[in-house]
Structures are given as structure tokens and as C-alpha cells.
Chains A and B, each alone.
Chain A
């Protein structure tokens, strides 16, 4: 929050800020989520919510199973063609402002399903804000995605999907080949 300044002195403290920045700050730390878990990625989502990784640290611990009370739609897992109308309807029922996270490879691009059953990425039916790679993703990747989303909310960016930064395979190679000392 670059815009917030704290003026202190003489025992008095005052905050000056922009209203939009304050609102974005409030929004990004109290995300109510709608977990649309359909497949094995759901397990990994539970892991993120549980105390070890503790999504509550980011103010996003409250799941809301009514789309009208939710801010973020987590699409967790494979979406079949038959489920597509349901996802679309849930997204339409959510109130603005709303964000969508595609959790895992299947939700991002259909995974290895390239046939009559599966929607090749939920972005084909609803706009997605953050993609998380992995089959399933590690909880760290999910938290990474949440922080990217918070960044987007703070900046007020809409309609520019981002992906959790990919690990450079060369960096892993370097680590493996580093001589032991």
C-alpha cells in the first residue's frame, strides 16, 4: 500500500489515503471463497485450508456455499461438459466484484482430457484471473496464487489473467549439479 501515509507527532496519529486503495486493501484481506471442488484437486484445497498451510493467514478462510456471498470462485478440478452450465450459473449469480481462480491443470486447460467429456479449461466459459499449474498443485502454489490475486485486487487490474510463476527447470538443474562442499 504505497498510498497510505502515517503522520505522527504530538501524540496524535492521522492516516491519509485514497478511498480506492483503502477499499482494495479491505477487499484483498477478506476474500470470501466459493470452493467448486469436483476432483482430486479438492484434497489439495483442503490441505491449504487446514492449519498446516492455513489460508486464514490471508484472510481467506471463510468458505461460502452461496455464490451470492462469495468473492472468489475456486474452480478446483475437472469440469465436464455436463457441469459447464452449473459453473456458468454460479459465476453469474456471484455479485461484483468477483474473481475466478483455475486450480490445477484440468481447470486451466482440460489436462490430458481432450475428448467429448471435458471442458478444455474453465476459461472457455468464464473469465479466469489466476491459473495454478500442477496435477494437483502444491499448497505453496495455491498460496502463491492467492497472493497474486491479492496483488491484482490491490492494483485494481481486471481481465488480465496471470499464472503462478513457473519454476525454471534450469534452476532446478543448477541445484542438482552444484558440487558439494
Chain B
């Protein structure tokens, strides 16, 4: 659908377009960081492209990748021409890409969010502060090396006996199964039997605290399953007894 857009970009930028793909009509190109703002400006201003709708700008962390660690992902679309394109670039940790704020003003908050979650700083950004988290927060939570269950409370937790992360009611209530048991996930990943776990999460296992009382929860679940089985067994026996004299 937007093949024309990609070919236009290729004909204008030539070798600067490092890669392109069109998976199920989802056209994407990759450029170098130094061409980031040039490509964005061209996308907006060119008569054949006219990308006037800034959809989103976000980032992805690939900690195990050699060289540049982050991907910046820009999604833009043209309301008039009805086409869209995705532009990515690789950014190394510590590299500061230029801001897209002068091109699309919507990039302001998107870049603040990227800074908040990934710690990528943008050159010449008008107001680069955290946007969702609080100023006291240390680190960047969407980096894959941030411990997944580490919280940084603003209010110190109360010191009362019996306070855990487990719910204060039965395991069959209130969706306690929604929590991921990372130990199981990792075991499955190691066997190759279950869902794969990101290598950076696997690397953390040493320092990761298992979900505080997961052993207790497992014991509770097993106990419940045994009770249900026992109940059904007793019931079947009773029915068998009931049926026997009727036949005789």
C-alpha cells in the first residue's frame, strides 16, 4: 500500500536507507542515527509523502545485541495520501539522537516518555524531564536489565506482621493466577518445552527474588486439587454403593 513511499525514500536517500521490509503491507525502513532528523523532515515536507500525522515514537531494548542496544521506532502516516511508514534506527547506550520536536511537535511527550522508560536522551529537546514516573525514581524501568519486580516506594511500607504480596483471601478468588511465576517460566525455557524467556531476564535469576511466597501458593494450589479429587472419589464410591443393591 505504501510501497510508493518506501521507493520514494529509497530513490531520494539511496544508500542511507540501510534496510527495508514490507511484512503484510507494513512497510518499514531503517536509517542511521545521523540521518534521523533529515529523513523525518523529508517525510513531512515531500510532496509525494506528506506525512502530517505523527502516530508514535517509541523504543525497544535489545541488551544482548552487539553495538547499538536500542531501537528507536517512529510511526508516521499521511492523512491526505492515506499511507503510512515505520522508520527505525539503532541507538547505542549513551548516544544522543536529535529531537524530532521541530518536525512534529507531538514528539515532545513521546521523547519524554522514552527518556523516562529507557534513559535515551534527545539533543535540543525543549523540556526533557520524566513524564510518568516521579523524580525520585532511580534507573529506567523498561530497560531489560531493570529487575522486573523491583519497586521504589515513595511512602515507606508499614512494618506489620503478616504483610506479603500474596492476597489475604483464598487462592481461588481475585485472579492470583495472573501473576507470572518466573521460576517456572525459566525452567520451561531451559527445557525448551514452554515459552521462551528473554535472555536478559534469565541473566537476572541470580539476583531475582522469587515471587515472595510462591512456594506457599503452590502448596495451596496442590492442596485444593487434592481436596477436589478426594471429593469426587468419595462421591463416586457413594454412587457405586447406591447402585449395587438396586441391581441385586
> Which residues of A are in contact with B by a Cβ distance under 8 Å?
81-82, 84-85, 88, 104-105, 108-112, 114-121, 123-127, 131, 133-135, 161, 163-164, 166-167, 169-170, 173-174, 177
Contact A125 B158 (CB under 8 A): yes
Contacts of A114 in B (CB 8 A): 148-149, 165, 179-180, 211
- Could you tell me the distance between the alpha carbons of A30 and B79 in the complex, rounded to whole angstroms? 57
Cα(A126)–Cα(B180), bound, Å: 27
- Bitwise, B154-188 to A at CB < 8 A (1) or not (0) is 11011010010111111011111011100000000
Known: A127-B160, A166-B173. A121 touches B165 (CB 8 A): yes
- Residues on B with C-beta less than 8 A from A133 are 167, 169-170, 173-174
Interface residues of B (CB under 8 A from A): 133-134, 137, 141, 146, 148-155, 157-158, 160, 163, 165-170, 172-176, 178-180, 211, 224, 227-228, 231, 235
Q: Are A124 and B157 in contact (CB under 8 A)?
A: yes
With contacts A108-B167, A108-B169, A169-B228 taken as known, whether A85 is within 8 angstroms of B155 at the C-beta atoms is: yes
- 5 more A-B contacts (CB under 8 A) besides A112-B175, A117-B151? A105-B176, A115-B149, A119-B151, A121-B163, A135-B174
Quick check: A82 and B173 within 8 Å, CB to CB?
A: no
Which residues from B are CB-within-8-Å of A109?
165-168, 174, 176
Residues of B within 8 A of A118 (CB): 151
Query: In whole angstroms, how far apart are the Cα atoms of A173 and B152 in the complex?
Result: 42
Docked-complex contact B151 and A115, CB < 8 angstroms: yes
* In contact, B146 and A111 (Cβ under 8 angstroms): no
Which of B137, B146, B152, B169: most chain A CB closer than 10 A? B169
List the A side residues contacting B235 at CB < 8 Å.
177
The 8 sampled A-B contact pairs (Cβ below 8 Å) are A109-B174, A111-B178, A114-B211, A124-B163, A125-B155, A134-B173, A135-B174, A170-B228
B147 to chain A, nearest CB (A): 9
Do A116 and B150 have beta carbons less than 8 Å apart? Answer: yes
**Which of A81, A126, A167 is B151 in contact with, Cβ under 8 Å?**
A81
Q: Nearest CB to that of B137 among chain A residues?
A: A116
The verdict on A173 contacting B231 (CB below 8 Å), with A81-B151, A114-B165, A123-B158 known, is yes
| Distance between A116 CB and nearest chain B CB, rounded to angstroms | 5
Name the B residues within 8 Å of A85 (CB-CB): 154-155
B157 lies within 8 A of A125 (CB): yes
Would A166 and B175 count as touching, CB distance under 8 A?
Answer: no
Q: Are B151 and A120 in contact (CB under 8 A)?
A: yes
Given contacts A88-B155, A116-B146, A133-B167, contact A108 B228 (CB under 8 A): no
Which one, A81, A110, A131, contacts B134 given CB within 8 A?
A81
Q: Which residue in chain A gives the minimum CB-CB distance to B211?
A: A114
A169 touches B152 (CB 8 A): no
A125 to B154, CA, bound (A): 10
Q: Which chain A residues lie closer than 8 Å to B174 at the CB level?
A: 104-105, 108-109, 111, 133-135
**Shortest beta-carbon distance from B178 to chain A in Å:** 3
Contacts of B167 in A (CB 8 A): 105, 108-109, 121, 131, 133
Provide the residues of chain A in CB contact with B211, threshold 8 Å. Answer: 114
Smallest distance from the beta carbon of A159 to chain B beta carbons, Å? 9
Q: Which 10 A-B pairs have the closest CB atoms?
A: A112-B178, A105-B174, A166-B170, A133-B173, A133-B174, A109-B167, A133-B169, A84-B155, A124-B157, A163-B169
Assembly CA distance A170 to B234 (angstroms): 13
**With A82-B133, A114-B149, A133-B167 as given contacts, are A167 and B173 in contact (CB-CB < 8 Å)?**
yes
Highest count of chain B CB atoms <10 Å: which of A109, A127, A163? A109
Docked CA distance A47–B176 (Å): 24
B242 to chain A, nearest CB (A): 11
Q: Which residues of B contact A117 (CB under 8 A)?
A: 141, 151
When A116-B146, A161-B168, A164-B169 are in contact, do A84 and B178 touch as well, CB less than 8 Å?
no
Bound together, the chains give a CA A91 to CA B166 distance in angstroms of 23
